[in-house]
Every structure is written in C-alpha cells, then in structure tokens.
C-alpha cells in the first residue's frame, strides 16, 4: 500500500509539471536567451566569479533543444542534456516500469556518493582551460 501511495503523489504531480514544462517550452520558443534584453536571468555565479557553474548554459541549451538543435544543446551543457535524456527512464522506473537491464543505472543514480562526486568534478572540469575540458564549457 505504501508503494501505491508513493506513486499517487507522483501521478498527482504530473499535471502541474506538464503545465510548467509547457510554459517553459513556450518561453524558450518565443524568447532567445542569447539576445539582449531577454527575460531570462543571467547566471549569478558566473557574474560574480567569472567561472561556470553546473547549470551555466542550461537556458541556452534548452532554447537550442526546443528549436531542434541538439548538437548546440549538448555543447552548452552536456551533463544537463545527458540527465534530460535519462529522465524519462527514471520517471518510468518510479512509476513501476522496471526492466532488469535498467537496475544498474538506477542503482548508480540513487547513490548520493555518485552525485557528490560527479557534480563537483563536472563543475571543476568545465572551468579548466585545456581541451577536452573546454568542450564542457558553454559555447
């Protein structure tokens, strides 16, 4: 019964998430984050430090993605685009679709140590001034 209750809140969250996603897609289709005077806020961390944060380039990546430019999206924030690609699998898992081949991936993604290692390393790596690390910086 507890598993059903857990799925119920997830299912209840889907309509508001769908509405927010639709609104975000609309905004990204109608406003260019690369243009001057766009409504999207700049990265505060980059403005203060001059270094890229984990999310730097995400708005521009999503803008490129909703316009069908997958390669530009990946070049702006490769980790975020990878996580976005994996998100439907994780959602399916949470809703009860559990193919055995996905177990290793889900096990890895559920470990806090994975995220506590990956995110700081990505943050550091995308600020290193050498190839291939410069490929991680937003274009």
What does the alpha-carbon distance between residue 29 and residue 92 come to, in Å, rounded to a whole number?
27
What confidence category does residue 5 fall into, taking pLDDT thresholds of 50, 70 and 90? low
Let me know: does 60 contact 42? Beta carbons within 8 Å.
no
pLDDT tens track for 31-52: 999 999 999 999 999 999 999 9
Contact 99, 61 (CB under 8 A): no
Mean pLDDT of 91-100: 90
* Structural contact between residues 76 and 64, judged by C-beta atoms closer than 8 angstroms: yes
Residue 63's pLDDT is 96
What is the Cβ-side half-sphere exposure of residue 110, based on CA atoms within 13 angstroms?
10
Nearest to 42 by CA among 34, 131, 95, 105: 34
Q: Please state, in angstroms and as integers, the Cα–Cα distance from residue 87 to each residue in 28, 39, 52, 84, following that order.
A: 20, 27, 23, 5
According to the model, what pLDDT value does residue 139 have? 78
Is 0.85 surpassed by the pTM of this model? no
The helices-and-strands tally (H runs, E runs) of the chain is: 7, 0
Q: Which two tokens stand for residue 80?
A: 């975020």
């Amino acid at each position: 019964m507890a598993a059903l209750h857990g799925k119920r809140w997830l299912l209840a969250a889907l309509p508001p998430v769908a509405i927010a996603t639709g609104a975000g897609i609309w905004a990204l289709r109608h406003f260019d984050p690369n243009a001057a005077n766009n409504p999207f806020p700049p990265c505060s961390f980059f403005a203060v430090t001059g270094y890229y944060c984990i999310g730097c380039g995400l708005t521009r990546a999503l803008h490129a993605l909703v316009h069908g430019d997958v390669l530009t999206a990946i070049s702006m924030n490769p980790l975020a685009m990878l996580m976005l690609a994996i998100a439907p699998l994780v959602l399916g898992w949470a809703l009860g679709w559990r193919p055995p081949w996905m177990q290793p991936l889900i096990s890895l993604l559920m470990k806090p140590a994975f995220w506590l290692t990956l995110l700081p390393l990505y943050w550091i790596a995308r600020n290193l001034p050498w190839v291939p690390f410069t490929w991680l910086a937003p274009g």
